Amino acid sequence: MTKSVPGYNSFAGGIKPQSLYQLETILDERSVGQDTDLEVVSDNNIKFTQHAHLARYYRSYDFIIISLIVGLSFWVTSVFLISKK
């Protein structure tokens, strides 16, 4: 028997997350900044609705800057390796 997320047995629509990672994956399908209501069934079969606001993890330009630095580092490494060949 697999362990469910503590306090959360299943979500509306029959989705039953087995870990917090799966819960995060379910919420990733929604847009950043969106308010969403999660209908949850507890381990005691009590249904309740939990309101959640999906906050932005990165500021607007942080993600672009991080992606640019990582991309450039891969590009510079590949150019270096090709030139030494």
Q: What is the pLDDT of residues 38-51, one digit of tens each?
A: 777 777 888 878 88
pLDDT value, residue 7: 47
pLDDT value, residue 39: 74
Rg (CA), the chain: 20
Q: What is the mean pLDDT of the chain?
A: 76
pLDDT value, residue 59: 72
Question: Which region, left, alpha or beta, applies to residue 33 given φ > 0 means left and ψ of -120 to 50 means alpha?
Answer: left
This prediction's pTM: 0.41
pLDDT value, residue 41: 72
